Amino acid sequence: MKLVVLGSGTSVPHPQRASAAYWLESAGGSLLLDISPDAAHRMAQEGLDWPGLDAIWVSHFHLDHLGGLAPFLFGMKWAPQTQNRSKPLRIFGPAGAKTLFEAFDGANNYRLLEQHFTIEIIEVDRSAEFEILPGLRARTVSPPHTHESMAIRLDEGEGSSLVYTSDTGYADEIADFAKGVDLLLTECSFRRNKPVETHLELADAMRLAHLAEPKRVLLTHLYPEWDGCDLRGTRHRRASAALSYL
Ligand SMILES: [Zn+2]
Ligand SMILES: [Zn+2]
């Protein structure tokens, strides 16, 4: 599998970090993990095959994870690149996704589901197992964030695996869920002294990683307080401070 980070930021507008969206390519097709308001243009910017996107995963209803869905479908409806598309686009999300989307769609009669191809909205339980793309198994678990939030684990046959926590507070259950995964893509909203229990700070993310023992960890969903922070530099400074005591 190949992962392209399209947005490592949050809902706070930021000059360098777009909000949540991750492009995943597997043997069975392409999958967008969350679709923030920045996602559509970031896909184009990275030269990705957005007109051929196979599936979208919506982790929860906060707009920095979902707010780009309607604009993307609006773009697909009218873009020259999608006029000959025939394969379906599948959108997986929490219970209530259909109602939420239809309410928006109906508010101005956009008819975003009436396209040249079929759009399926598939609602998923918070502890489900299903095939999200051919050959790509998905499992979900409910993290402490919002009531509908889901973390997702993706396993490609006997090959690579990934866990995307999306937004979450700390829970040992997330570590169990991510045990031994190839890539743990975890939020790490704050550096320290987090103001809410429904997000992680660095010590929480490190605890998750310590317990889950993934091959690699990728910290994302970074609030602007991370700006200018160089973790390696911080460690070196601490190391040199410690050395000065010796
Ligand atoms: Zn978020
Ligand atoms: Zn959220």
pLDDT of residue 159: 83
Could you tell me the distance, in angstroms and rounded to a whole number, from the CA of residue 116 to the centre of ligand 1?
A: 32
pLDDT of residue 240: 37
Q: Check if the beta carbon of residue 149 is closer than 8 Å to that of residue 142.
A: yes
Could you tell me the distance, in angstroms and rounded to a whole number, from the CA of residue 59 to the centre of ligand 1?
A: 10
Which listed ligand is nearest to 11 at the C-alpha? 1
Could you tell me the distance, in angstroms and rounded to a whole number, from the CA of residue 245 to the centre of ligand 2?
A: 43
Could you tell me the distance, in angstroms and rounded to a whole number, from the CA of residue 108 to the centre of ligand 1?
A: 26
Q: Which residues of the chain have pLDDT under 50?
A: 236-246
pTM of the model: 0.94
pLDDT of residue 246: 28
Could you tell me the distance, in angstroms and rounded to a whole number, from the CA of residue 127 to the centre of ligand 1?
A: 21
Angstrom distance (rounded) from CA 174 to CA 154: 14
CA distances 234 to 185, 208, 222, 243, Å, are: 22, 21, 17, 14
> For the chain, what is the total number of helices (H) and then of strands (E)?
7, 12
